């Protein structure tokens, strides 16, 4: 494992790219309404990242080994879609829940964040799931400090999700991020407290739990990208990019439009 500790100069570049990523999610929020297509949301985000921010959308034509190139500038995952949903022509409907995941590249560095959006009036179950996933993310973030272990993050997330009668997807995880889209370490959203690599100042990684209302089992769709719940239950995800500081953490992807840490989380 090659965990890259960022230099002060790299940290400043990451602060900028992460701020821009959060700004994209703020910008697109008023457009997430019944009747809009995810393809239109992708177009708007693409133009904002490229024409306004001067960024490069990292997902556009992204092609890990063995995968077909991802065709869009954002990921849009609806209802039972867990992650990597491809924007398309089907309109959103009242009651949908939607995750938008964006990764703009600015000056060679990646900002990575995602957020849940409620489309119109959604069910109590859907609201509850989105809130549980949000709290799971922040419980994981609250464990970040020098000397802690990566397993502390995953353990806090798993315990809260399962206590809430939900499940955590295990096939996908958070990751280091910087000049590379996906760097070491892998940040599991489950596991044993006290396990895994020690957290050190200047590490930067994402925490992005995917929480299902039903079972954790997944299925990949024929497009090669979209991942859904096997039991067709709802899924929700939130993502922040986090810097380990000398004393605790700094969330790099906060913005005026982003919800802060729940008051009850220490």
Average pLDDT score, the chain: 98
CATH number of 188's domain:
3.90.230.10
> Would 261 be classed as within a structural domain?
no
Lowest-confidence pick of 63-67, 144-148, 255-259: 63-67
14: Cβ contacts below 8 Å, ≥ 6 apart: 6, 109, 111, 177, 178, 204, 241, 243, 252
> Would 256 be classed as within a structural domain?
no
Query: How far, in Å, CA of 131 to CA of 121, rounded?
Result: 15
pLDDT at 203: 98
> Would 104 be classed as within a structural domain?
yes
pLDDT at 1: 83
> Would 265 be classed as within a structural domain?
no
Query: How far, in Å, CA of 43 to CA of 262, rounded?
Result: 32
179 burial via Cβ count (<10 Å: 0-12, 13-18, 19+):
middle
> Would 259 be classed as within a structural domain?
no
Res. 266: pLDDT tops 90 = no
51 — pLDDT class (breaks 50, 70, 90): very high
Count up the domains in the chain and report the number.
Answer: 1
- Residues 82/93, Cβ–Cβ less than 8 Å: no
pLDDT at 135: 98
> Would 262 be classed as within a structural domain?
no
Per-residue pLDDT tens digits for 195-222: 999 999 999 999 999 999 999 999 999 9
Domain hosting residue 34, numbered range = 8-251
Per-residue pLDDT tens digits for 72-91: 999 999 999 999 999 999 99
Per-residue pLDDT tens digits for 217-245: 999 999 999 999 999 999 999 999 999 99
Burial 94-133 (b: 16+ CB within 10 A, else e): eebbbbbbbbbbbeebbbbbbbbbebeebeeebebbbebb
> Would 130 be classed as within a structural domain?
yes
> Would 137 be classed as within a structural domain?
yes
pLDDT at 66: 82
């Amino acid at each position: 494992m090659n965990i890259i500790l960022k230099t002060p100069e790299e940290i400043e570049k990451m602060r900028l790219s992460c701020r821009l990523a959060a700004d994209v999610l703020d910008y697109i929020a008023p457009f997430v309404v019944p009747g809009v297509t995810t393809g239109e949301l992708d177009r708007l985000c693409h133009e904002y990242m490229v024409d306004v921010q001067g960024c490069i959308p990292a997902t556009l034509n992204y092609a890990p080994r063995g995968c077909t190139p991802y065709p869009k500038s954002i990921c849009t995952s609806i209802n039972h879609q867990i992650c990597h949903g491809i924007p398309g022509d089907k309109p959103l409907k009242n009651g949908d829940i939607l995750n938008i995941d964006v990764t703009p590249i600015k000056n060679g560095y990646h900002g990575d964040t995602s957020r849940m959006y409620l489309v119109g009036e959604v069910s109590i179950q859907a609201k509850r799931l989105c809130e549980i996933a949000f709290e799971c993310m922040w419980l994981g973030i609250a464990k970040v400090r020098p000397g802690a272990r990566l397993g502390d993050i995953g353990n806090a997330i798993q315990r809260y999700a399962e206590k809430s009668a939900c499940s955590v997807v295990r096939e996908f995880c958070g990751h280091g991020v910087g000049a590379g889209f996906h760097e070491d370490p892998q940040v599991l959203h489950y596991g044993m407290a006290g396990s895994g690599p020690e957290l050190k100042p200047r590490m930067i990684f994402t925490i992005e739990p995917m929480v299902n209302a039903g079972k954790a089992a997944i299925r990949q769709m024929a497009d090669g990208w979209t991942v859904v719940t096997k039991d067709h239950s709802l899924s929700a995800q939130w993502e922040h990019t986090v810097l380990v500081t000398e004393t605790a953490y700094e969330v790099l992807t906060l913005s005026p439009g982003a919800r802060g840490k729940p008051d009850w989380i220490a």
